[in-house]
Structure 1
Amino acid sequence: MLIAQISDPHVSALEGVADSLLRTSGHLARAVAHLNRLERRPDLVMITGDLVDRGEVGEYERLRELLAPLRMPVFLLAGNHDDRDNLRRVFADHGYLPRAGLLQYTVDDWPVRLVALDTQVPGEAGGRLCGERLAWLEARLAEAPERPTVVAMHHPPFALGIPVMDAFGLDGSDRLAAVLRRHPQVERVVCGHLHRPIVRRFAGTVACTCPSTAHQLALDLPPANRLAFVMEPPACMLHLWLGSDGGLVTHLSLIAGEHPPFTVHDGRGGSATRSRLRAFIRREVGSSLN
């Protein structure tokens, strides 16, 4: 099973800042094309929040159009930039989305179970896991203790060492950790929000964040204390389930600049000639520097 994760597309209206300056819609269209071109096609795509920039109906309608070419099912999570009701209204045919209240759900159709957890606090940049949400998570995990599970949410449950972002993190991380320690079937906690790939061991499992499909958070470690973005190459995460023996392996797949691979060995005894390798390197290195 292969799970593709993209995050924080921040789709806006045509005149919106996110679209006019950061070209977020164009970046999402490129991410969709990238996923469709993968030789190993993902079984599903999950988008871990900040689907749009202002939570407006028109933005969600544009998001829907941009996602339409995907050749696999897509599952949506809300982030701090989203509006639950407008998201539900535009994606009313997405039957996994609850009709009211928190946007939390499970997906049980593949070998790895997906549990989506709502961390949004309307009007706030940071997230929260209240007693209601954690009780829901505990109950869902208790339903299938033997099933390998991915818990998906927008806000990461750990400190980053990036001071400005740590100031509006996730309230309730300690209580989440207590729940996860009781459920060792959780293979991964996957998050968005940070516009960077970050990995940390957390509560007996592995927690990671996904880059944005557009702009990335500048890596400002202490003593820096600013919030800045940088147009580093966008990327997606590919979570590959290798079975109970191999577990869940996570790969970073760059979206920007689709360069063809050079086959050194084809698995059938064929190998590359030195002249072909030289020609490939000259072409690809030159194009990567332009």
Structure 2
Amino acid sequence: MLIAQLTDLHIGAGRRLAYRKVDTAGALEKAVAHVMSMAPRPDVVLFTGDIGDLGTPDEYALVAEILKDLTIPYFMVPGNHDRRGPLRAAFPDATPVAMGQAFVNYVVDDFALRLIALDTLDEGKPGGVLPKSQLDWLRGVLADEDDRDCLIFLHHPPILTGIAHMDAQNLGDGADELADIVSEHRDRIRAIICGHVHRPIHTVWAGVPLIIGPSVAHQVAFDLRADGPSAFVMEPPAMHLHVWDADQKNLMTHLAYLDHYDGPHPFFGADGKLIV
């Protein structure tokens, strides 16, 4: 089973450039073309949040227009730049929540690996939350009679990455309880995949691989200084490809570049000085 993860699209209405520089709509078009040209093609595409930049219906209409060329099944969770109502209205099939459910939590049982979507959006705020109702929902899903291996996808990472301005807006309330749940079921949860940080980051958390995907449009500057400012860089846009081997019960993640930028791609040295 092959899973493509596209994250942090930040599509602006009218193809507005992000930061007056980044053609996010063009980047998504290239990402879709790349996925559709792959051999073999992915079985499913998971969008891990920040589909739009302001969460407006016209942004999602543009995303839907671009995704007409994506004929592979795809699913979404909201990020902090999204709004649940407009997102669900624009993509009902990609956010298949139960009737009357407020949050975009759901399970996809159509593949060899069970896919569990978690909604960490705290509308109007950059950081994420998982209230008790959602944690109870997850406990119920993991306690049902389906004991297949599974993957959880969400927007906000529940970890500190060392990129201070992003760590200040990671998953806050609910992260510790989520760790308890994941640890209890670590024999079945094969990975947790996230977005939000705009950088490829891999670690083990609560006994499970936790993988943050790069943005398909632009990346956050690699700066591990405690006072590092918020900054983006025109590093090459990319996506993650997750390969699930059911026989070996192994999930392998590949980084795939979608385009190139000539740079420079800055980072900060041990002395705190900018290196290009």
2:207 match: 204
Per-residue displacement from partner, 1:56-105 (whole Å, max 9, x unpaired)? 00000000011110121110110000010011112234472445410010
Q: Equivalent residue of 1:18, what SS?
A: coil
Deviation string for 1:138-188 (max 9, x for gaps)?
Answer: 111112563110000000011011111111111121111100111120000
1:14–1:20: 8 Å Cα contact kept in structure 2? no
Matches within 5 A, 1:210-221: 210-221=213-224
C-alpha offsets along residues 31-70 of structure 1, whole Å, 9 cap, x if unaligned?
0000011111100001000000001000000000111101
Show CA shifts across 1:200-244 (max 9, x none). 110010101111110100001124421100010111111111124
Output the amino acid matched with 2:107.
T
SS of the aligned residue for 1:161 comes to coil
Structure 1 pair 211/16, CA: closer, same or farther in 2 (3 Å)? same
Q: Matched residue of 1:208: which SS?
A: strand
Q: Which runs of 5+ in 2 are unaligned?
A: 261-276
* Matched ranges for 1:92-103 at <5 A: 92-94=92-94, 96-98=96-98, 100-103=101-104
- Equivalent residue for 1:18? 18
**C-alpha distance after superposition, 1:243-275 (max 9, x if no partner):** 242511111111115xxxxxxxxxxxxxxxxxx
Task: Mark the CA change 1:93 to 1:241 in structure 2 (over 3 Å): closer, same or farther.
Answer: closer
What's the counterpart of residue 126 of structure 2? Answer: 125
Q: Which structure is larger by alpha-carbon Rg, 1 or 2?
A: 1
**Counterparts of 2:4 and 2:23, CA distance in 1:** 22
Tell whether 2:74 aligns with 1:69: no
TM-score (norm 1): 0.85
Residue-by-residue CA offset, 1:103-132 (whole Å, 9 max, x unaligned): 010000111000000100001000011111
1:72-221 correspondence runs (5 A): 72-94=72-94, 96-98=96-98, 100-144=101-145, 146-171=147-172, 172-183=174-185, 184-221=187-224
Q: Note if contact 1:145-1:185 (Cα within 8 Å) is conserved in structure 2.
A: no
Identity fraction in percent: 42
Answer yes or no: is the 8 Å Cα contact 2:15–2:25 preserved in 1.
Answer: no
Structure 1 pair 10–98 and aligned structure 2 pair: CA distance change class (3 A) = farther
Q: Runs of 4+ in structure 1 displaced over 4 angstroms?
A: none
Matched, 1:239 2:242: yes
* TM-fit CA distance, 1:15: 6.0
The one-letter amino acid paired with 1:76 is M
* Structure (1 or 2) with the greater helix fraction: 1
Counterpart-to-counterpart distance in 2, 1:66 and 1:27: 10
For normalisation by structure 2, the TM-score amounts to: 0.89
Residue equivalent to 1:8: 8
Q: CA 1:130/1:251 → structure 2, altered by over 3 Å: closer, same or farther?
A: same
The 3-state SS of whatever aligns with 1:128 is coil
Return the letter of the residue paired with 2:2.
Answer: L
Instruction: Please give the alpha-carbon distance, in whole angstroms, between the structure 2 residues aligned to 1:121 and 1:101.
Output: 12
2:88 and 2:95 in contact (8 A); partners too = no
